[in-house]
Amino acid sequence: MPTPSESDGVVVLHAENLTKSFGGIRAVDHLNLTLARSELRCLIGPNGAGKSTLFGLLSGLHRPDTGRILFKGEDITNLQPFQRVRKGLCQKFQTTRIYRSLTVAQNLLIAGGTHTSNRKKNEKLSWALSTLGLDSEHEVSAGKLSHSHQQWLEICLALATEPDLLLLDEPTAGMTPEETALTAQFVVNLNRQALTVLVVEHDMAFVRYIAQSVTVLHYGRIFTEGSLDEIESNQEVRRIYLGES
């Protein structure tokens, strides 16, 4: 397959030589990552591999020590998180972003803000709310939703910003196997609607369901990339990731 190039618009994200240290710990180490438009990529790796730090660099929570990030061909390395959201790069909000005393509808209104092109036409969001059963909970206080519905609301809040690239860090944490399967199916369908998604997930059932390209991170570097079959049959990956000797 030819390497996607920025000039033909195939590349949505290109991170180059990214490094981020915390004190003596190099959480992300001279990392390169390229995502093609409409790609669905799973990012896996042992605890402490640097997955969340990489997300923080991409969403603007952290500033890199070295390297740069190009989003849709534009250098966004020095932009604030809200500026990246406006450009279409959104990470699923953390739980603290939900206003628990406000209703689902009010939370969505706030997340959508004023920059979105035409909120009424945010078809992905309408589809997501009904698929996840949140459309019947418009008037419910967010704090009263079940754990999984709060997680799903967070994804919908991100969709309200009309992203081109969605970052999901462990979206199924604390979910039952059934809820995990529904989330996986949902993410696949979301991706089919031309949304580029990068998802960190520990749950291999989730990764298997998605079964697209998988990137393995280890000590802040890309250890290997490939299909899930390739990753699972790679002895070195089994050693570092699955703890086999």
Residues within the interface to ligand ADP (CB under 6 A):
22, 25, 27, 45, 47-53
Task: Confirm if 89 and 163 have CB atoms less than 8 A apart.
Answer: yes
Q: Which amino acid is at 83?
A: Q
Rounded Cα distance, 11 and 6, in Å: 5
Residues that bind Mg ion (CB under 5 A): 51-52
Q: How many CA atoms lie within 13 A of 139 on its CB side?
A: 0
User: CA angle, corner 169, sides to 159 and 143, nearest 5?
Assistant: 65
Q: By C-beta, is 51 or 92 nearer to Mg ion? A: 51
163 binds, among Mg ion, ligand ADP, none (CB under 5 to 8 A by kind): none
Report the residue number whose CB is nearest to Mg ion: 52
CB closer to ligand ADP out of 58 and 85: 58
Q: How far apart are CB 182 and ligand ADP at their closest, in Å?
A: 24
Q: Nearest approach, Cβ of 151 to Mg ion (angstroms)?
A: 15
- For residues 121 and 155, the answer to whether their CB atoms sit within 8 Å is no
Minimum separation from the CB atom of position 154 to Mg ion (A): 16
Number of residues written out for the chain? 245
Q: Which is nearer to ligand ADP, 53 or 191 (CB)?
A: 53
Minimum distance from residue 52 beta carbon to Mg ion (Å): 3
Which option in ligand ADP, Mg ion, none does residue 60 bind, with CB closer than 5 to 8 A by kind?
Answer: none
Residue 45 interacts, among Mg ion, ligand ADP, none and using kind-specific CB cut-offs from 5 to 8 Å, with ligand ADP
Q: How far is residue 228's CA from residue 57's CA, in Å, rounded to a whole number?
A: 25
**Min CB(107)–ligand ADP separation in Å:** 26
Of 22 and 82, which has the nearer Cβ to ligand ADP? 22
**C-beta of 49 vs 167, nearer to ligand ADP:** 49
Q: What is the closest distance, in whole angstroms, from the C-beta atom of residue 133 to ligand ADP in the complex? A: 29
Letter string b/e over residues 83-122, b meaning 16 or more CB atoms within 10 A of that residue's CB = ebbbbbbbbbbeeeebeeeebbbebbeebbeeebeeeeeb
Exposed e or buried b per residue across 31-52, where buried means at least 16 C-beta atoms within 10 angstroms of its C-beta: bebbbebebbbbbbbbeebbbb
Q: Residue 50's binding partner, choosing from ligand ADP, Mg ion, none, with beta-carbon cut-off 5 to 8 A by kind?
A: ligand ADP
Which residue number, 184 or 216, has a Cβ lying nearer to ligand ADP? 216
